[in-house]
Amino acid sequence: MKEIEIHAKGMVCEGCENRVKNALGEIKGVKEVEASHQTGIVKVKAEEKVSKQTLEEAIVDIGFEIETMEK
C-alpha cells in the first residue's frame, strides 16, 4: 500500500471534494481518498500498481487542474 498526495486546483466546496473522492474511488486498487477544498490536497491510499498519473488524469477528467509542486 502506498500514499499519494496530489495538489488539485479548482475545488471550492464539499461538493467538489465529493466529486474527486467518487472519481478516484472508482479506480481499481484505490482504497481510501481524502480531499480538502480548503488546502487543495488530495490524499490517496492505493495498491502499488496505481500510478499517480492515473489519479491525476481522473481529476482532470472531472474538470479540475493539477498543480505541480516542482520548481
| Banded model confidence at residue 60, pLDDT cuts 50, 70, 90 | very high
Q: Report, as an integer, the average pLDDT of 34-51.
A: 97
Q: Is 31 within 8 Å of 47 (Cβ atoms)?
A: yes
Which residues does 42 contact at the CB level (< 8 Å), separation at least 6?
5, 6, 7, 8, 20, 24, 33, 34, 35, 36, 55, 59
Q: Report pLDDT for 10.
A: 95
What residue segments make up the domains of the chain, in order of their start?
2-66
| CA atoms of 56 and 69, how far apart (whole Å) | 13
| CA atoms of 63 and 17, how far apart (whole Å) | 12
| Confidence (pTM) | 0.91
CATH of the domain spanning 2-66: 3.30.70.100
